Amino acid sequence: MAEKISVRSLTEIMRGGGNYALIDVRERQEYEGGQIFGATQIPRRLLEFKIQTLVPARDLPVILYDGDGSLSAPAALTLERLGYSRAAWLEGGVEAWKAGAYPLVEGVNVPSKSFGEMVESREGMPQVLPEELKSWLDSGQSVSIIEVRPPEEVRLTGSIPGAVNVPGVDLPVKIHDLAGPGKKVVLTCAGRTRGIIATQTMRLLGQEVYDLKNGTMGWLLAGYDLQQEIPRGGAPSPGSRAAAETFARRLIDRQGIDLISVEGLLELRRRADREAFYQFDVRSREEYEAGHIPGTAWLPGGQAIQCADEFVAVRGGNIVFYSGNLARAVVTAYWYRQMGFPRVFVLGGGTAAWEAAGGTLEAGWPPDPLPLGLEDARRRVQAISAPELKQMMDANPETPVIDVGRSISYGKGHIPGAHWVNRGRLEMKIGGLATGKENPVVCTCPKGYGALLAAATLKDLGYGRVRSLEGGTEAWAAAGLPLEVGLSGVEGRPDDIFLQPWERNRQQMSHYLNWEVKLAENPFIRDYFKAYLSAGK
């Protein structure tokens, strides 16, 4: 039986170190409104899909919480069934945490964004206002503007006119080709964190650079337009590449960054069943797809720093970064060390060392792992094909069809008459949609995985004639059957919708930037990063 723990017990676990995971199982809007600092958000509906990546060792403490315990208690039971032997849930959830006079923080990626503000506070970052940068450009001054976000994001949003796109940890490798005597170098991201980190990285390298205050959001708020097509920075020259490797060696020596051999990497893999283990390739997507070490995840270094909580839920776990050469992996590892992650390693020699030791590289993009519990659900739940479901619905139009995919997918096209339910709240909602447990119920979602898991849940609740649509709604559409567009089968406003940064209007951008700046004033956050702040004095 999954354990129920008190707020006091949770605080003791948190003080004891990083070999645990704290998971907020609410949807993102609720999570952003107030969360326990350091928690990783996995909506309950995605637990089976994400937990094996975020918490790879199943015998570590995993504490789940929500607003009041209503979601986290059944979610902990789910984890226990999936083999997480020390799953627990916080009694009373956020409400109990607040009642104990413990602080909550608002927003998303708060640990990383807070750290970015600590860097800005400690280092006195050289910044340029959008209006000043615009005057430099209008007067014809020699300016190199570098957009440090991943190209996949920049393509969606655009950036400052005239900028080139060089993702953050690629900068040490390319900066010597982009800077020069008399040239002002300005770095930018969408908001603050990635620009701040990239600027300080360049200062460590000895480069004079500016951070564009508030990034492209600040540029838009100043009344200027973005350019949609931003060119990628070219291949680095041999001299620039060599300077980056020298810088990486200096960081290793001065900061005590741990290089690990291929044998050391394999040893960490062998211990992964009892110690959380993360391994990340921080190169570009193109390089990763051309050939990567099997079993490693692609995570460009700038994103690794920007949203660490989305990739590492056990702060005390073993984290290995690698790239084709040292610089990008070392820069990423350096910043993780500064953020307080205790066990961070760089694979010495990167992919070349792996191949030299007899390892092979895997090309292409690996498939997403199947959700935990899927095979058990397949054994327990009877599938129904799309033509069979159509016949059932024609014979009995009142047959409940429950769509547990994302509401955005449901709105783009769903089985006519289907009801949308957030799978995280299925047990609470099903009674109003399927009135008799002896009657047929069919679950669906885009591909059918979530539907199988939902049908297994309904089996546990006593719905004896529940089915899952084989291949999901995609199979229904592939069979030439009609889809209905819109949110007609959604009760109220869907709770799984949230805004991406580039979808914000001017008022929301301004609010977001003000929130981020004020993180540096939060006494709880400053106390959390006191070791970093005091090291700069």
pLDDT tens, residue by residue, 130-142: 999 999 999 999 9
What's the pLDDT score for residue 498? 78
Q: What is the mean pLDDT of the chain?
A: 95
pLDDT tens digits, 273-327? 889 999 999 999 999 999 999 999 999 888 999 999 999 999 999 999 999 889 9
User: CA nearest 318: which of 376, 370, 248, 267?
Assistant: 267
Place of tokens 């990423």: 332
Would the pLDDT of 237 be above 60? yes
Confidence at residue 436, expressed as pLDDT on a 0 to 100 scale: 87
For the chain, the straight-line distance linking the first and the last C-alpha, in angstroms and rounded, comes to 49
435 pLDDT tier (thresholds 50, 70, 90):
confident
Confidence of residue 492 (pLDDT cuts 50, 70, 90): confident
Q: Which CATH architecture has domain 114-236?
A: 3-Layer(aba) Sandwich (3.40)
User: Domain residue spans in the chain?
Assistant: 3-108, 114-236, 247-356, 374-478
Task: Single out the residue of 108, 116, 102 nearest to residue 41, CA to CA.
Answer: 108
Give the homologous superfamily in CATH for domain 247-356. Answer: Rhodanese-like domain (3.40.250.10)
Check residue 536 and give its pLDDT: 63
* CB 475, CB 415: distance < 8 Å: no
Q: Find the mean pLDDT for residues 438-467.
A: 97
When pLDDT is averaged across residues 403-428 and rounded to a whole number, the result is 96
The answer to whether the CB of 191 falls within 8 A of the CB of 220 is: no
Q: What is the mean pLDDT of residues 21-47?
A: 97
The residue behind tokens 């095979």 is: 375
Question: In the beta sheet, which residues pair with residue 403?
Answer: 420, 444
Contact between 326 and 357 (Cβ < 8 Å): no
Which strand ranges, in their side-by-side order, compose the sheet holding 184-188? 127-128, 210-212, 184-188, 143-147, 164-165
Q: CA-to-CA distance for 391 and 389, rounded, in angstroms?
A: 5
CATH fold for the domain made of 3-108: Oxidized Rhodanese; domain 1 (3.40.250)
Q: Which CATH superfamily is domain 374-478 in?
A: Rhodanese-like domain (3.40.250.10)
Question: Reduced to 3 states, what is the DSSP secondary structure of residue 36?
Answer: coil
pLDDT at 240: 94
Q: Which residues pair with 383 in a beta bridge?
A: 468
Residue tagged 């429950």 (tokens): 402
Span 23-50, mean pLDDT?
97
For residues 60 and 83, give the distance between their C-alpha atoms in angstroms, rounded to a whole number: 11
pTM, 2 dp: 0.95
Distance between CA atoms of 419 and 426, rounded to whole angstroms?
Answer: 12
Average pLDDT over residues 102-106: 94
Q: Give the pLDDT score at 459.
A: 97
Is residue 218's pLDDT more than 80?
Answer: yes
- Round to whole Å and give the CA distance between 8 and 469: 45
The span from the CA of 81 to the CA of 459, in Å, is 15
Grade residue 464 by pLDDT with cuts at 50, 70 and 90: very high
Enter the tokens of residue 377: 């659900």
Domains 114-236 and 374-478 share a fold: yes
Instruction: State both tokens at 284.
Output: 């570009």
With a cut of 70, say whether residue 116 has pLDDT above it. yes
Give residue 502's pLDDT: 67
Percentage of the chain exceeding pLDDT 70: 99
How is residue 200 written in tokens? 């300080």
Whole-number pLDDT of residue 468: 98
